[in-house]
Amino acid sequence: MNLKQLAKELNLSISAVSKALRDSHEISPATKKAVLAKAKELNYQVNPFASGLRKQKSKTIAVIIPEVVNDFFGPVINGIESIAQEKGYHVLIYLTHEVEQKEVAIINLLQNGRVDGVMISISAQTSDTTHLEALKEKGIPLVFFDRIVERINAPKVITDDYNSGAVATNHLIENGCQRIAFVSLPNKLTITQKRMNGYLDALKNIHIKKDNSLILFCNGDEHKDKDLIRNLLKRKDRPDGIFASVEKLAIITYEVCEELNLNIPADVKVICFSNLKTAGLLNPSLTTITQPAFEIGREAASILFKLIEKKGHHFLLEKTTINSKLIKRISTEKTSGEK
Amino acid sequence: MNLKQLAKELNLSISAVSKALRDSHEISPATKKAVLAKAKELNYQVNPFASGLRKQKSKTIAVIIPEVVNDFFGPVINGIESIAQEKGYHVLIYLTHEVEQKEVAIINLLQNGRVDGVMISISAQTSDTTHLEALKEKGIPLVFFDRIVERINAPKVITDDYNSGAVATNHLIENGCQRIAFVSLPNKLTITQKRMNGYLDALKNIHIKKDNSLILFCNGDEHKDKDLIRNLLKRKDRPDGIFASVEKLAIITYEVCEELNLNIPADVKVICFSNLKTAGLLNPSLTTITQPAFEIGREAASILFKLIEKKGHHFLLEKTTINSKLIKRISTEKTSGEK
DNA sequence: ATGAAAGCGCTAACAA
DNA sequence: TTGTTAGCGCTTTCAT
């Protein structure tokens, strides 16, 4: 079913039908009604390829994320999709699996009009960012969320990483930890840096100085990361507290603890960024920093759509920060509170 | 950058360049090489709309799921995307939020060539399935996974729901439960029916007969579902065991227990379908039935691509069953084993 | 081995 | 208010 057939059915020209469908002012109400009725009857749908080709817009955005195996990116997708559905946009999803090369390949796929805009949370391994700059050069709106590239001039939606890092560390300190390790993704990620700075300043406050042997930079590869964490916990001077900067590393930490027969929280206390919003299902000994993932998705998508719609206007919503929540669970009584 | 410009740069005709790029036999190796080099140099990418319009294929599939807030659909997406990436396909994602009306609207969007195939796990509220049949009528390949529609003649990828239901129920029985409730999504879902049959047969085995007051059909709306579960647990003759047919309902159950100060597993034992593969993070009192979500995604995607590529051939891979795993956690010693 | 040209289905400028 | 027409960028048949 296409315009031509529809026009024939109605004894109208193709362009009249096309205009009627887009509610043009130059078509009489009567014909509009007739067209709409017929279109519905025959279940006519505009061919997105023809229309996209002609209008040079796709009504589609791309979301590029490392993975969907944790409870951060899931809700983010939810948030993005909810806004996109409102706006009548379609959402393409691409996973980098933390591999820089895949990220580059994916970005290259998007250079030729397939999408009207891109949202990305960069891979842990990405260091060169020319692919992203190239995309921006082509005039394709770009929004970063969570894992951002500081030096690229594009809107960014993040959480209050520095502060969260400090709060998390303080929480361990309050629970009696002395040797607190920071387990994180590569140092090049801004989330790593900021969370670490919060961690370091919290320690500095109580006059503990930086101990590089307690700072672990993983790289996103599950096996390698597990080895690193195992080594950390096997040492006789192992930490009594661990601040895991991302959920996945906390999970690995838990697995290693089980393997080494270390009791949490008796032997080691753990706190992590995590969105397992399943309070009841959580191990009661785990305190989490929870990011408002759904809101981050919605916010980033809203900004992207503003950019798409106002394309050409030189307006730049710079960084947007959405606060995360501390959900306390280390202490014996199961209380939970906000920061 | 388009074919025309590229052709001009090379002093060739558009069609020659086009053919060269698609490695046609009617182009000399020499020109092919030149074209490829120039294309790479100028970072030429085919315009997907022009190409899609002409070839009437989109190199895109749609994935329609209820939500991405749990650890089932996340890994499923992962699996699908991994296959799609191999095959050079793009993945559109749509969420129904368990609302039938949204599912219908989404399916309608896909009737006009936007995608070459569709994978769906239907919403809990879907009862009428004419929209899905209409899609099949149009010749768009369709694959169901997990939440299938039995009567539609399309490939289906599921887990061994009946057996899992029986295993889950037996596990509660072995742990001393006498009054076991079955908390599930609407009865019209095949997963509900099969898991329930497993549950009922396990009870029948020990001569306990069906007690309808212990069987709860929720509908996917979080608030309503919570009320239902709260009522169940407030009764004086409340169950001593709960088999939650989906992860989300287990989470709600946990929340209600916390609210009512019921201790798990002392007061109530809970078992559920869940993919929180975060063994260490789980509440040790929770036993789960874990579905191989990643594999389900991969399998369903593989079948869809076969369908897309062999379009016209009357071959129908009917139901594919992938077994789930029982991860025991109720008993005090933290053992885990497979079924 | 290369080129010319038709047309995929739609939109929009222009004509009537 | 409606119709005619020229492409959008690509693929493919047919001619050269």
From CA A269, how far away is CA A134, in angstroms rounded?
44
- DSSP lists the bridge partners of residue A322 as A159
Going from N- to C-terminal start, the domains of chain B cover 3-42, 57-158+293-322, 161-291+326-332
pLDDT in tens, A273-317: 887 655 455 566 678 888 999 999 999 999 999 999 886 555 566
Per-residue pLDDT, averaged over A149-169, amounts to 94
Most confident of A229-238, B251-260, B271-280: A229-238
Long-range CB pairs of A99-108 (<8 Å, 24+ gap) are A99/A123, A99/A125, A100/A125, A100/A126, A100/A127, A100/A128, A102/B85, A103/A64, A103/A131, A104/A131, A106/A62, A106/A64, A107/A64, A107/A131, A107/A132, A107/A134, A107/A135, A108/B43, A108/B45
B316, pLDDT greater than 70? no
From CA B120, how far away is CA B92, in angstroms rounded?
12
Residue A339: the pLDDT is 26
B243, pLDDT greater than 60? yes
B335, pLDDT greater than 60? no
- Most A CBs within 10 Å, among B49, B56, B131, to test the A interface: B49
Residue B203: the pLDDT is 97
A161-291+326-332 under CATH 3.30.70.120, yes or no: no
From CA B325, how far away is CA B163, in angstroms rounded?
11
Residue B277: the pLDDT is 59
User: With contact defined as beta carbons under 8 Å apart, do B308 and B141 qualify?
Assistant: yes
DSSP-derived secondary structure letter, B216: E
From CA B140, how far away is CA B57, in angstroms rounded?
11
Omega before residue B265 within 30° of 0, cis: yes
Residue B329: the pLDDT is 60
pTM value is 0.92
DSSP states of A201-227 as a string? HHHHHTTPPP-GGGEEE--S-HHHHHH
Nucleotide nearest to B17 (CA to C1'): C2
Q: Which residue in B197, B223, B231, B198 sits closest to B98, CA to CA?
A: B223
User: With contact defined as beta carbons under 8 Å apart, do A222 and A255 qualify?
Assistant: no
Per-residue pLDDT, averaged over B297-317, amounts to 82
Cβ atoms within 10 Å of A110's Cβ, excluding its own = 26
Most confident of A16-30, A66-80, B45-59: B45-59
A332, pLDDT greater than 70? no
Q: Is-same-fold flag (A57-158+293-322; A161-291+326-332)?
A: yes
**CB-CB neighbors (< 8 A) of A230 in chain B:** none
Look up residue A299 and give its two tokens. 């916010």
The confidence band for A337, taking pLDDT boundaries of 50, 70 and 90, is very low
Q: CA A235: distance to chain centroid?
A: 35
DSSP-derived secondary structure letter, B282: B
**CB-CB neighbors (< 8 A) of B281 in chain A:** 250-251, 254, 274, 276, 282-283, 286
Most confident of A23-32, B191-200, B258-267: B191-200
Nucleotide nearest to B26 (CA to C1'): C1
From CA B308, how far away is CA B115, in angstroms rounded?
10
Residue A178: the pLDDT is 93
User: With contact defined as beta carbons under 8 Å apart, do B115 and B60 qualify?
Assistant: yes
Helix (H) or strand (E) holding B227: helix B222-234
Of B53, B111, B250, the CB nearest to A50: B53
A93, pLDDT greater than 90? yes
Closest alpha carbon to C1' of C9, residue: A50
pLDDT in tens, A12-36: 999 999 999 998 898 999 899 999 9
The CA-based dihedral angle spanning residues A265, A268, A273, A276, taken in that order and rounded to the nearest 10 degrees: -40
From CA A259, how far away is CA A221, in angstroms rounded?
19
Residue A311: the pLDDT is 60
User: With contact defined as beta carbons under 8 Å apart, do B320 and B174 qualify?
Assistant: no
The confidence band for B282, taking pLDDT boundaries of 50, 70 and 90, is low
Whether the CA torsion A39, A43, A44, A48 is positive or negative: it is positive
Cβ atoms within 10 Å of A29's Cβ, excluding its own = 8
Q: Which residue in B301, B315, B246, B253 sits closest to B72, CA to CA?
A: B246
Q: Which residue in A96, A104, A29 sits closest to A63, CA to CA?
A: A96
**Residue showing tokens 């897309």:** B308
Q: CA A122: distance to chain centroid?
A: 9
User: With contact defined as beta carbons under 8 Å apart, do B190 and B150 qualify?
Assistant: yes
φ, ψ (nearest 5 deg) of residue B314? -85, 70
The confidence band for B326, taking pLDDT boundaries of 50, 70 and 90, is confident
Q: Which residue in A146, A142, A90 sits closest to A308, CA to CA?
A: A142
**Comparison of pLDDT for B158 and B264, the residue scoring more:** B158
A224, pLDDT greater than 90? yes
Q: Is the CB of A152 under 7 A from strand C?
A: no
Q: Is the CB of B224 under 7 A from strand D?
A: no
Per-residue pLDDT, averaged over A223-242, amounts to 96
B32, pLDDT greater than 80? yes
Residue B192: the pLDDT is 96
| B residues 84-103 lying closer than 8 A (beta carbon) to A | 85, 90-95, 102
Kindly report the average pLDDT of chain A as a whole number: 89
Q: Cα dist. B202→A163, B110, B207, B216 in Å?
A: 52, 42, 9, 17
Q: Using a 7 Å cut-off to protein CB atoms, list the covered nucleotides of chain D.
A: 1-5, 7-13
**Residue showing tokens 């001393």:** B176
B16, pLDDT greater than 60? yes
Per-residue pLDDT, averaged over B134-147, amounts to 94
Cβ pair B47:A281 closer than 8 A: no
Residue A187: the pLDDT is 94
Q: What percent of chain A has pLDDT over 70?
A: 91
Looking at CATH, the fold of the domain delimited by B57-158+293-322 is given as Rossmann fold (3.40.50)
A179, pLDDT greater than 70? yes
A328, pLDDT greater than 80? no
User: With contact defined as beta carbons under 8 Å apart, do A200 and A168 qualify?
Assistant: no
- Please give, rounded to a whole number of angstroms, the shortest distance from the CA of B82 to a CA of chain A: 8
